Each structure stands twice: as C-alpha cells, then as structure tokens.
Amino acid sequence: MSNAYDIIARYDPEFPRKRAGNLLTDTTEFMNIQYGDVIELDGKHFLVLRDEKERSFGVEDPKYWVKRCRQLDTGERKILKLVFYEKFPVSLGSMQIECFRSPRKEARILDLVRGDGRFMQGYSRDDAVGNNVRVLDVVKGDLLSLAIDKLEADHRTYFFELLPDILEKFAEACRAIDFLHRHGENHGDIRRDHLWLEHGTGNYVWIDFDYTYEFQESPSGLDIFGLGNLLLYLAGKKFCTTFNIPRPEFDGLSNVHLEPADFSMLFKNRLSNLRKVYPYVPETLNNVLMHFSTASEVFYPSVGEMLEELLPCIDEIRRGRINA
C-alpha cells in the first residue's frame, strides 16, 4: 500500500524522506494537516506546502483550512480549501444579517463561472468521507488594494489621471457580481482583499465565494454594500477614517465640520462624504458614495442601478481633468 513518501518520490525523487508526512483521504481534521502531507482527492495527489494567509488591516492571519499545495502529477501550484464552518452577524444600520460559510455554495459558483476571467477558477470534489474540497487555481497577481497603495501620486493627480481607468475596470467587476445575482447567487464577502489585479491581463479577479448570508429584505444587499465600500476605497485612494482624514491638504479644511451622517453605514468610522475633504470630487460621484452612508434613506436595489449612476461619473472625472 502506498504511503506519502512513495507517492512524492514518484514525482520528486529529491524530496527528503524525513519531511514526508501522511497520506490523507479524509480532510476533516484540517488543523493537523501540514507540510509534507499528501492529500488524495479523486485519484489526484496534492503535496501540502503551507497554510494560506489572509492579509487584512496590515496583518497576516493564517487560514488553517486553506492549504497551498503542489499537484504532484502536473507540478502546478493549487489551493485546496477544506471544509470549515463558521457563522457571525453583520450589522447594517438597525438590521442584523446572519453570515455563514457554505463550501457547497462556493462549489456551485466555481461551476457557474468556469472560464470567466473575472473570477478565480477551480473545481470541487468530495473527499473519502464526503467533505467538499475546492481545488483552486492560483491567481497570478496581487491585491488590487495593494496596487493602489503603491501608487505614489497625490490624491488630486490620482483622482483625475488614474481613477477613471480604475473605475472602468471596477465597473466590469461590478457586472461580474451582477452576473452572480442574476443566477440566484451572491459573492457573500465583498471586500478589498477579495479583489485581485491579475498580472499580464490587468483583469480584476474576484476570489473567495464560500460566505453567504440571509437577508430577506434584500438578497443582494450585503454584496451591494460591499461594492460601495470598495468604491469608497478607490475614490479616496484609501479609506478616509476618523484617524487619518487628510485635513492639511486644503486651506481652511480644518474648519470642516463632520457629522455622523457623513460616515458609512457599514463601517461607522469611514467617511463617505468625500467632498468634505476633497472638494473636487464631483457631486454625482459623491451622491453614489452617499448612498452607502448613514444619511441615506434610499439604497441601490441592484448592481445595475448603482452602475447607471456610477458610469456617467467616469466621463465627468475625465472632463474635469482639464480644470484640475
């Protein structure tokens, strides 16, 4: 009977025997799966290299149920997402929304978006005891937010020279989410570390679809608020928060009075009313941003309706470049 080392040695004879771990067909105890183990899945073998990490708020958090692997017969790098269940509430104004992980929901979306470059690619298989494992291609790129952070332009230059093209691509990423909604699905966890900039193509690529939520009043509502939050980041070149509002940039800005209504409904410390710190932000774009603020009484019922108001703003910013 084969063991992990025998299988590894067939494809990588130089792999040290002492580093070979266990041959696994049951992935239930994912915390115990580590470097050198081999996961057997539907006749294919995946050498575990490390746990994946998620970069959020400047901190790397290990995701012990997500394994960076090498598929031994092809040498390709893959990501295996193992079954992990959790749930938590999200507050949206006075509403509480129950969010939870659903591996099979992510598996459905992988089938739905196969061949669509706006989404990460992969497939799912059940292990020997019925755990749904998703086998994912590695997105060759980096977080879009990191690419934005690395831009050295000041905000005014960024806003007029770079943002229009960024918003064009963001609009296509929004259409990708609308595609999910029209097929009865949602992304479930739209945030800046789940949208990647793919090297070579320049595509914006969505990753991680295993969260879902129950929000009967608006089945797509949390996704739409996630898009609004991302738009706020892109328009501001960062999140303007109560801790980093750029007061020195304009004469007299220190006298600007900020009110609770100027801030995001989803994240209370993030400024939605960007015109108060960047007066050159067109009112039309600011109006889109304010739909996601605590002041708003009207919310976008669909991604399409948000795009109807966002798309004209792109040309308006381009025209405003002349007078910037």
Q: 10-residue block means of pLDDT along the chain (324 residues)?
A: 88 93 97 97 96 72 94 97 91 80 97 98 98 97 95 96 98 98 96 95 96 82 95 96 65 66 90 94 97 91 97 93 56
Please tell me whether residues 149 and 297 are part of one structural domain.
yes
Of 36, 57, 82, which one is at a domain's C-terminal end?
82
Question: Is residue 1 assigned to a domain?
Answer: no
Question: Residue 46's domain is classified under what CATH number?
Answer: 2.30.30
CA gap 235, 228 in Å, rounded: 10
> pTM for this structure?
0.92
Same domain, 178 and 317: yes
Asked whether residue 226 is assigned to any structural domain, the reply reads yes
| 276 and 196 inside one domain | yes
Q: Does residue 210 form part of some domain?
A: yes
C-beta separation of 241 from 271 below 8 A: yes
* CATH label of the domain that carries residue 185: 1.10.510.10
Domain annotation covers residue 254:
yes
Q: Do 201 and 55 fall within a single domain?
A: no
**Same domain membership, residue 203 and residue 64:** no
- Whether residues 75 and 153 share a domain: the answer is no
101: in domain: no
Does residue 279 belong to any structural domain of this protein?
Answer: yes
Residue at 215 is within a domain:
yes
Number of domains comprising the chain = 2
Same structural domain for residues 162 and 63?
no
Position 76 in a domain: yes
Domain that holds residue 43: 9-82
Same-domain check for residues 48 and 163: no
Tell which of 62, 82, 102 closes a domain. Answer: 82
Q: Is the domain of 184 the same as that of 40?
A: no
